[in-house]
Structure 1
């Protein structure tokens, strides 16, 4: 695959985006980015095509990801199209996601599927806290949430 000078420059600029440990609620771990194409401005960045943002053991993947920077810190990340937010214990899938670092919340909307092991929960809107790992699912318009939960083997 041929890489143009512009694409290589954009990749280097994305790598230079400062992510401060002082951002409220954020981890001090480095943030890695990847995509087929991207742009950077002082206000943020745009990633398109197999877009991915990784911090520690959490990964956000989507068709497109926009990051919003303020005062040199990454504040909010918006993802759209085939969105996956993956933690060590859970996988969230939806049409769109907004991750607000200050509140540690990821809001996933549109045909949402949350899995943890064999357990599955579906709905229209999921609010997940990356710090507490608490999740709240809401049903789609005029619909209900649905789930399948498997009890853990208690060894009895």
Structure 2
């Protein structure tokens, strides 16, 4: 069998590795930019320092966009002036520049710029696709790490 057919067959198989790291986002996200949230409803619980947004939730920070059915915002201790984390669930989609990721749930640590996507997580970069049980995206350095039955489809370069 010719070598290029063997390589093509190997690329079509799920990868049995524990984790794989890829670049994510042609432009790194500005994790210090303001976070804008829109939704159908909002419920605030002053005692826990949380706000729950539901219904067509869209979160924007610089060029990064995250959408979900529901997002719980947890504020840092000492008041509602600084967002600590965003917990999104239900049809989570993350778009940063030309790249996109999807999952059932996501947790975004605003301070560190880390987003952890779980539940049939998938990253798409052009025609390249990378999927796994858990994808961790670092918006500060523009990388992603995929773990848990990693699967990928890589397209060969142009002529």
TM-score higher than 0.5 here? yes
In the alignment, which of 95, 111, 118 is matched to residue 86 of structure 1?
A: 95
SS of the equivalent of 1:78 reads: strand
RMSD: 1.7
In the alignment, which of 49, 52, 74 is matched to residue 68 of structure 1?
A: 74
1:38 aligns with 2:47: no
State the shift of 1:104 in Å: 1.3
Determine the C-alpha separation between the residues in 2 that align with 1:113 and 1:89.
Answer: 14
TM-score (norm 1): 0.75
Determine the C-alpha separation between the residues in 2 that align with 1:61 and 1:128.
Answer: 16
In the alignment, which of 54, 58, 67 is matched to residue 48 of structure 1?
A: 54
| Residues 68 and 76, structure 1, Cα contact 8 Å, conserved in 2 | yes
State the shift of 1:31 in Å: 2.0
Determine the C-alpha separation between the residues in 2 that align with 1:81 and 1:136.
Answer: 21
| Residues 30 and 61, structure 2, Cα contact 8 Å, conserved in 1 | no
SS of the equivalent of 1:135 reads: strand
In the alignment, which of 143, 152, 156 is matched to residue 151 of structure 1?
A: 156
| Residues 108 and 125, structure 1, Cα contact 8 Å, conserved in 2 | yes
Match in the other structure for 2:31? 27
| Residues 31 and 113, structure 2, Cα contact 8 Å, conserved in 1 | no
State the shift of 1:97 in Å: 0.2
**Residues matched between the structures, number:** 126
State the shift of 1:44 in Å: 2.9
SS of the equivalent of 2:156 reads: coil
> Which contiguous aligned blocks of 4+ residues in structure 1 show a shift greater than 6 angstroms?
none
**Uncovered stretches (5+) of structure 1, i.e. residues with no partner:** 1-24
| Residues 115 and 121, structure 1, Cα contact 8 Å, conserved in 2 | yes
